[in-house]
Structure 1
Amino acid sequence: MLYDKDTLFEITVDRVKAFESLRQSLTTAPLLLIPDFKMPFKLYIDASGDGLGAALHQVQILNDKPVEGPICFISRQIKLTEARYGASQMKFLCLVWALEKPNYFLEGCVFEVITDCTTVK
């Protein structure tokens, strides 16, 4: 790591490969999977002071390997009245909102909700 301006930064093959991998990941749009309603879903949720967001994922077999990929992404801004919510209330708001939005994917299916909030877990 660089701590000050006098530290010498060495460019190595591993660092170049890591940079190229990061650049590829940041500049490539994610491939959306077609949902398989026989397989369980994963609903990732998160909320902040600015907005709510969720990503519906699923593990599918692609090229004989299990691969987790996105089915859909949803997000919205926080409303003025919601801006007064505490952190736990905001996460629960996000959970309820995320369950209502893509309900056509989740209704009658097995799914897991994944969040960083211990209250929601």
Structure 2
Amino acid sequence: MDVIRKIGNNEIVEITTPVLITWHDGKSRLSVDSRALNNYTKADRYPIPRIPHALDKLSKAKYITKMYCMKGFHQNGVQPNSMNCSE
């Protein structure tokens, strides 16, 4: 119950096991503290491009083809051994 009290008071709670929270309408929600997961995850190497930068490059283009537009957003090559992670 100490964890529930700390959550209610917006206090910092140490890493704990999952907690099942029941809402007033009877629905339940599993709350998991995944902060420790940050030690094992990798940062995104392909951040979203800034819109002004993308528009600046687009304004200098003479032609914009349908094929270019279909290329899409955020299409990056993936190493063959990483393909199972991107599906």
When you count helix as a share of all residues, which structure comes out higher? 2
User: Which structure dedicates a bigger proportion of its chain to strand?
Assistant: 1
- TM-score w.r.t. the length of structure 1 is 0.19
TM-score relative to the length of structure 2: 0.24
- Could you say which structure has the larger radius of gyration? 2
Structure with bigger RCO (C-alpha 8 Å, 6+ apart): 1
